[in-house]
Chain A
Amino acid sequence: MVNGFVWTLGDNVNSESILMSGEEERRDRVVQHVLEFYDPEFAKKVQQGDVIVAGKNFGASSGRPAGEILRKVGVGALICESVGNVFYRNTWNIGLPVLKCPGIRSQFNKGDKIEVDIFKGIIKNLTSGKTFEAEPTEPILLEIYQEGGLINWIIKRKNLYATIDPA
């Protein structure tokens, strides 16, 4: 179960601008600037378990590992109306769930209290009292999430792991 406060974003938030990959000198300090284009408060105030509720085409186009940074700063889940397919897989793989729920954006305000059951796809706005159901998630992604991300999933598969560590 993910519990926290909501941060809201609009449509077409692409993964390159989440990371602000623009400036070379800022790359190493990316955690301090994540999502700055959209909400300058985010990097400073985000807490463990917070959830981002976004509009359409979240993580558009790119395969940049934006999800990794969001997870690093404590985001517990991403909920959006629709999502770019490369970003979708990458982000689940890094251990950060992405739930798809058309119409969800208008049901949340920044700062609302939220509770999300990732496996059942049940989203609760504890501030407004309303409950929503996300589109079902592919079983393989839930399996990967349960193991804590794709790297752990690889490590736990003995036949692969046995060859990772040379004697």
Chain B
Amino acid sequence: MGMTIAEKILAHKANLPRVQAGDFVNASIDLIMFHESMFLTNHIFEEAGSKIGVPRVWNKDKVVIVLDHYAPPMGKNAKAANQHAKIRSIAKRLDLPHFIDVSTGICHQVLPESGLLSPGQLVVAPDSHTTLYGALNVASTGIGETEAALVLLTGELWFMVPPTIRIRVEGKLPPYLSGKDVFLEAARQFGPEVAQYKAIEWYGPAVESMSLDDKMCISNQSVELGAKFSFFLGDKKTEEFYKQHGVKECNFVEPDTDAVYEQEYIINTEAIEPLVAVPHSFSEVRPAAELTGVEIQQAVIGGCANGRLEDLAIASSILEGKRVASSVRLIVTPASHEVYLNALAKGYIEKLVKAGAIVTNSCCGPCIGNIGTLADGEVCLTSTSRNFKGRMGNPKGIIYLGSPATAAASAVTGRITDPRGYCNA
């Protein structure tokens, strides 16, 4: 009996010839990444009796820290500034080579760009959107700050090998649809628990033709379907990305042809339209076209879910020559400064600013309300990763979630808008 991608990687990291779904293994971790969560993990060591906080790490080369949540600290937030200072001193004391300070970007884009990832690795971080690197054929998942402390000491973590579901995506994404809509369709059709404690393997003709940016969005958002891992196979685009970022050898992991899957699902891109998750969860997803009565005061394009070059490209093409509605604030946050520079070179940033967008530095900002906090009762259409109550800094704010194209078109009209009238074929 063959193995799925999750089974193969966990078997390899647990030094076992084979495993199957339901087995418990102790696996060695290839990389652990922290953002400002390092402050919490350090505090956990203090609670455990270590006066100096994190006493040591099992392998300096396998620890990455990216400061991205208060980058730089804003709104007179001395607490955040002091946390940053503390984390810098921790990184120095432990002599960590992979400490990445503010002004580089959001951790989930910076880590792929760093050249530290490679196919088949097992990577964890105290952040739930860590599933993103599955788009790069990496087994990656979120853990808590307490387990992160354990990993720092031992370099290992227990896993229950998850069962895997397969999702086949038929057709081809037209310009007005993107990875975000594929994810929203999965939530709509199969519910936000379809992958609860499971791995997903995505495949099919639409997957083969979609961009790496689309795959990263889908893997990122898969945690909202309950996914432990969310895998794509490696292909030329993946290889190209790795090579561009200094990773020369790409030994992609594929499932065996006789691997066993718990269930198979199908999404047909030709049958879907631009979608929006209504407040305050992913349990209700509706076509944007059905929500045109909803007025918005803010739109967000960016973040780790949809702040990549293609997202900025579609947004700038929709906004070119137009203006953001006077009743709307459009915030654009590129996922990293590498993306920002590429977007500058291509003229996207200029078009967005000319249309009235507020283009911010690359940080984990608007997604969690660090930038663009909502007023009571205000409505935001965001392409960031979550629409939960209070997420954008005000429990009385109301958040709808859709693709960058939907957000851009809605910013122009001032109400939730299906982008099909705005995208050129």
Partners in one complex: yes
Task: State the A residues within 8 Å of B (CB).
Answer: 11-12, 14, 16-17, 20-24, 37, 56-57, 60-63, 65, 82-86, 88-90, 93-94, 138-140, 149-151, 154-155, 160-161, 163-166
B8 within 8 A of A: no
Within the complex, which residue of A16, A23, A56, A86 is in contact with B388, where a contact is CB–CB below 8 Å?
A: A16
**A14 proximity list for chain B (CB < 8 A):** 281, 388
* A12 and B142 contact, Cβ closer than 8 Å, known pairs A17-B389, A140-B158, A164-B49: no
Cβ-defined contact, B226 with A57, below 8 A: yes
Contact flags (1/0) for B193-231 with A, using CB distance below 8 Å?
100110000000000000000000000000110101000
B111 within 8 A of A: no
Which of B49, B282, B395 makes the CB contact (< 8 A) with A37?
B395
Cα-based distance from A116 to B52 in the complex (angstroms): 39
Q: Is the CB of A12 within 8 A of B281?
A: yes
- Contact status A85-B226, CB under 8 Å: yes
Would A89 and B147 count as touching, CB distance under 8 A?
A: yes
Task: Count residues of B near A (Cβ-Cβ below 8 Å).
Answer: 53
B333 nearest CB across to chain A (Å): 19
- Residue contact A93 to B144, C-beta cutoff 8 Å: yes
Of B224, B282, B389, B393, the contact of A24 (CB 8 Å cutoff): B393
Of the residues A12, A23, A155, contact of B49 by C-beta under 8 Å: A155
Contacts of B388 in A (CB 8 A): 14, 16-17, 61-62
Of listed B127, B197, B228, B392, residue having the most chain A CB within 10 A: B197
State the CA gap A61–B149 with chains docked (Å): 21
Enumerate chain B residues within 8 angstroms of A84, measured Cβ to Cβ. 196, 226
Give the distance in Å from the alpha carbon of A151 to the alpha carbon of B149 in the complex.
9
Q: Is B160 an interface residue (CB 8 A)?
A: yes
Contacts of A16 in B (CB 8 A): 386, 388-391
Q: Report B70 CB to chain A, min CB distance, Å.
A: 11
Shortest distance from the beta carbon of B297 to any chain A beta carbon, whole Å: 17
Which residues of chain A are within 8 angstroms of B196 by Cβ–Cβ distance?
Answer: 57, 82-85
Confirm or deny: B50 has a beta carbon within 8 angstroms of a beta carbon on chain A: yes
Chain B residues with Cβ below 8 Å from A150 are 146-147, 149-150
With CB as the reference atom, state the residue of chain B lying closest to A152: B48
Contact A90 B144 (CB under 8 A): yes
- Contact (Cβ within 8 A) B154 A61: no
Cross-chain contact of A22 among B45, B77, B146, B395 (Cβ < 8 A)? B395
Asked if B153 lies at the interface with its beta carbon under 8 angstroms from chain A, I say yes
State whether the Cβ of B51 lies closer than 8 Å to any Cβ in chain A.
yes
Contact of A23 among B224, B386, B395 (CB under 8 A): B395
Q: B286 at interface (Cβ–Cβ under 8 A)?
A: no
In this complex, what residue of B is CB-closest to A90?
A: B144
- Segment 13-47 of B: residues with Cβ below 8 Å from A: 24, 40, 44-45, 47
| CB pair B48 A151 closer than 8 Å | yes
Q: Which of A12, A61, A63, A82 contacts B143 (CB 8 A)?
A: A63
Which residue of chain A has the shortest Cβ distance to B369 in the bound complex? A22
Given contacts A23-B395, A57-B193, A164-B153, 8 further A-B pairs with CB under 8 A are: A60-B226, A61-B128, A61-B223, A90-B143, A90-B146, A138-B24, A154-B150, A154-B153
In the complex, the answer to whether B49 meets A165 with C-beta atoms within 8 Å is: yes
